[in-house]
Chains A and B, each alone.
Chain A
Amino acid sequence: MSNANLLDRRQVVSSLLADRKDAIVVGGLGAATYDIAAAGDHDRNLYLWGAMGGAVVMGLGLALAQPKLPVVVITGDGEMLMGMGSLATVGLQKPGNLSIIVLDNESYGETGGQVSHTGAAADLVGVARACGIADSRTLETLAEIKAFAPRLQDVSTGPRFANVKIDKANLERVLSNRDGGFILNRLRGSLGYRPI
């Protein structure tokens, strides 16, 4: 079911990544990973097919290791809810180069569309702000998304958190690579690191 007032996830992600430059992008398992793959495969995409709840803190490890590069985590509301404590961990470290984008369709799309906590009471923007991520906001229109995209390149004013309400449309999967060794060594290679 799609709602005309809500955003299309693929349009959101392709707009955010259209001018990504050197950014490293971490995709939470499920549809967020498919959205990133649909926006175009890239050496600096870290696709997840599991490790639910780990996307944000994986982005934190990357952001601390590469403070001059933008690191963007794009994940879903269910994955974010499972790793909500990691927002407190990010709020403590405050890496300026980390951006967290939640594609919030208020449901678990990959498993049949069961309703998630964000459909009723849970306010992820409020959680992120309360965890010390001062730049936390809701993005509601494609114009807002496009205006926000260049901020991902700013590596000194993060961390930032944006919750994007998207429609519940279950789109055709765009399958990314899922061989971890390949994904990891390709990313490391793009940063100048050789396999051991």
Chain B
Amino acid sequence: MHGRTEASAEQAVNWPEEIFSILQRYDVRQVPYVPDAGHSQLIERVLGSQAMRGIPLTTEEEGVALMLGAWAGGQRSALLMQSSGVGNCINMLSLTQIFRFPFLTLVTMRGEWGEFNPWQVPMGSSTQGVLELSGIRVLRATQPDEVRDVVEAAASQVYNALTPTAVLLSQRLIGTKVFVK
């Protein structure tokens, strides 16, 4: 169970739906992803969409290369992954500097807010630093009601200004994964 399914006033904002709307509006056509619970609603919307193609990956770095190919062929894309996946992308992120193509990734965070699984903590702690060292601008959304503005700003600078950007969706936003009830 995750926070987003728990009833509270905050959850009234359907932020995954807001992200989907933004991707639609920016005419994003390819959405590569490695599944994450925090992205599950958005992935379902993408897979159900006629205009977008959801593309499951075996590892996140595939997504970076796929996005370059998509843009070379005239299509916009966005990569969905969990914080641990950022580490899998490092060398492939060179492509964003070599080719200057629109690179947007939405990263659901683990290991930073009430984490139960110690294995998530090292990569979760270095996610932002790794992205910044790789030349990716990092924006963050922590509250449900700020997701729309943050993702909108990211999409704008990615698709209008070719500024590679990651949006970190805080673990506080997504809800801490419950292993033992």
Residue A65, interface by CB 8 Å: yes
Establish whether residues B75 and A88, one from each chain, have CB atoms under 8 Å apart when the complex forms: no
Q: Please report the C-alpha to C-alpha distance between residue A183 and residue B70 in the assembled complex, in whole angstroms.
A: 15
Main secondary structure of the interface of B (DSSP, over half): helix
Minimum CB–CB distance from B33 to chain A (whole Å) comes to 11
Q: Is the CB of A88 within 8 A of B58?
A: yes
Given A62-B70, A187-B72, A191-B74, verify A51-B62 contact (CB < 8 Å): no
Tell whether, in the assembled complex, residue B69 and residue A85 are in contact, meaning their CB atoms are under 8 Å apart.
no
**Residue A105 is within 8 A (CB to CB) of chain B in the complex:** no
CB <8 Å contact, B72 and A61: yes
- Interface locus among A2-10, A14-22, A52-60: A52-60
Q: Is B51 an interface residue (CB 8 A)?
A: no
Taking a contact as CB atoms under 8 Å apart, the answer to whether B62 and A64 are in contact is: no
Minimal beta-carbon separation of A73 from chain B (angstroms): 10
Q: Contacts of B91 on A, CB cut-off 8 Å?
A: 50-52
Looking across the interface, which residue of chain A has its beta carbon closest to that of B96?
A: A180
- B158-180 interface with A by 8 A CB criterion: 160, 162
Q: Which residue from chain B places its CB closest to the CB of A179 in the assembled complex? A: B98
> B124 → chain A, closest Cβ, in Å?
23
Chain A residues with Cβ below 8 Å from B56 are 89, 92
Indicate the size class of the contact surface on chain B: 20 to 34
- Any A CB within 8 A of the CB of B65: yes
For A173, the chain B residues whose CB sits under 8 A away are none
Report the minimal beta-carbon distance from B82 to chain A, rounded to whole angstroms: 17
Residue from B29, B58, B74 within 8 A of A86 (CB atoms) = B58
If the complex has contacts A64-B30, A89-B55, are A54 and B75 also in contact, measured as CB distance less than 8 A? no
* Known A-B contacts A60-B69, A61-B69, A65-B69; A53 and B61 likewise in contact (beta carbons under 8 Å): yes
Inside 8 A of B162's CB, which chain A residues have their CB? 196
Interface flag for B78 (CB, 8 Å): no
Given A65-B29, A89-B56, A58 contacting B74 (CB threshold 8 A):
no
Q: Can you offer 22 A-B residue contacts whose CB atoms are under 8 A?
A: A46-B72, A51-B91, A52-B91, A54-B61, A54-B62, A54-B92, A57-B62, A58-B72, A61-B66, A62-B73, A65-B70, A66-B73, A83-B62, A85-B57, A86-B65, A89-B56, A89-B57, A89-B62, A184-B68, A184-B71, A187-B72, A188-B74
Please give the residue numbers on chain A whose beta carbons come within 8 Å of chain B beta carbons, in ascending order.
Answer: 24, 26, 46, 50-55, 57-66, 83, 85-86, 88-89, 92-93, 180-181, 183-184, 187-188, 191-193, 196
